[in-house]
Chain A
Amino acid sequence: MPIRKITKRVVSGNLLIQFKYVEEDSWTQNSSQSTFQTIGGVSIKLTPQYADSILEINASGTLRSQNSSDTHDQFAVRLLVNNSEEYIQSHILGQSPYGNNHSHTGGRNDRTAPTRRTGHVTNQATTFGYSHAYIPSSTNAQDIQTQTRNISSARDSILIQDFFMIAKEIGIPALGGLSGPQ
Chain B
Amino acid sequence: MALTRVTKHIIHGSLLVQFKYTENSGSWVLTTSRTTYTKINNKNVVMTPQYADSILENSASMTMRQEAGNNNNDQLSIALFVNGSNEYEQTNILGNQPYGNGHSHTGGRNDRTAPTRRHGHVTNQRTAVGFTHTYTPASTNAQDMDVRAKSSSDRNFSVQDFFFICKEISIGITTLSGDQT
Contact = CB atoms under 8 A, between A and B. Distances in A.
A109 B120 CA distance: 22
A166 interface: yes
Interface residues of A, number: 51
Contacts of B130: 60, 127, 129
Interface in B48-103: 55, 57, 59, 73, 75, 88-101, 103
Interface stretch (B38-46, B131-139, B143-151): B131-139
A140 to B, nearest CB: 16
Contacts of B14: 15-19
A interface SS class: strand
A90 B119 CA distance: 31
B176 interface: yes
Name which of B105, B178, B180 has the most chain A CB atoms within 10 A of its CB: B180
B92 A159 contact: yes
A140 B178 CA distance: 20
Interface residues of B, number: 53
Contact of A22 (B13, B93, B108, B181): B181
Given A109-B105, A121-B99, A161-B91, A99 B177 contact: no
18 contacts: A19-B169, A20-B180, A21-B134, A21-B179, A42-B180, A49-B12, A60-B132, A61-B90, A106-B105, A109-B105, A112-B103, A119-B121, A120-B99, A126-B93, A126-B94, A162-B88, A164-B131, A166-B134
Interface of A: 15-24, 42-45, 49, 58-64, 70, 97, 99, 106-109, 111-112, 116-127, 129, 159, 161-162, 164, 166, 169, 171
